[in-house]
A = this chain, B = another copy of it.
Amino acid sequence: MADVDTEGTEGVGAPAARPSADVARGRRPSTTREHIARKALDLFDRRGFDATTVDEIASAVGISRRTFFRYYDSKRDVVWGEFDAEMVRLRDQLMGAPRDEPMMDVLRRAVVATNRFGAGELDELRIRMGLISTVPALVAHSAVRYTEWCDVVADFVARRVGGSPEGLGPQTVARAALGAAMAAFACWARHDSDDLTGEVDRAFRLLATGFDENRLGRWVTSDPPSSSSGA
């Protein structure tokens, strides 16, 4: 693992693992979110999420149970890593897109862009996403985390087409888009399609067709159109 310096570690809910730009005051943290996450994911992967207790994670890391909960709000949150940073990236991508680019193209490109990962991160990501889309406790928790994602998309859509982000239009687009993204992720995490962004791209192109039955039929049988062409 060559991710020595992970500087984007803004606290999700825990105050710990601060970059601490100024002088370090007080007692130094005895570990990091990344360190905990690595140990925990390893345990989850080997023994299963439910079968791994917080006590086991804590003792594997070398901290107390109480300290674990200062780094992560819950056992579930460990799997999500630095999800919040990605949320900011998505918003930037959506809001920064040229006004004349079609809405669904912007959306597709933005989601694809925010899900580009280096080869070194993919193995861990697959474990994360595999857990998120299969373990009931994590499937459940995902709905809460993805709510923020939907809000970002709904804001974008409302800004494009008018009306309130809470309205049926933006909400439907946002939640349907989330569905497409989740489908892509789940498919990628399950079988070894090593092309995550490709899956996302395909799912969103499909979504933008309105799921016409004939096109969908051809799409399933023959190989679906890959990205390549333009925006």
Contacts and interface: CB of A to CB of B under 8 A. Distances in A.
A191 to B, nearest CB: 8
A164 B174 CA distance: 26
Number of copies: 2
Contacts of A166: 187, 190, 231
Nearest to A76: B140
Given A184-B168, A231-B164, A211 B143 contact: no
B171 A186 contact: yes
B139 A168 contact: no
B208 A208 contact: no
A8 B217 CA distance: 30
Nearest to A207: B176
Contacts of A174: 179, 183
A210 interface: yes
A104 interface: yes
A178 interface: yes
A182 interface: yes
Nearest to A208: B210
A182 B178 CA distance: 12
A130 to B, nearest CB: 14
Contact of A210 (B163, B202, B203, B207): B207
Interface of A: 102-104, 136, 139-144, 147, 157, 160-164, 166-169, 171-180, 182-184, 186-187, 190, 199, 202-203, 206-213, 216-217, 219-221, 224, 227, 230-231
**Considering the complex of A and B, which 10 residue pairs feature the smallest CB-CB distances, nearest first?**
A175-B179, A210-B210, A143-B143, A171-B183, A140-B140, A176-B176, A176-B179, A163-B220, A179-B179, A103-B213
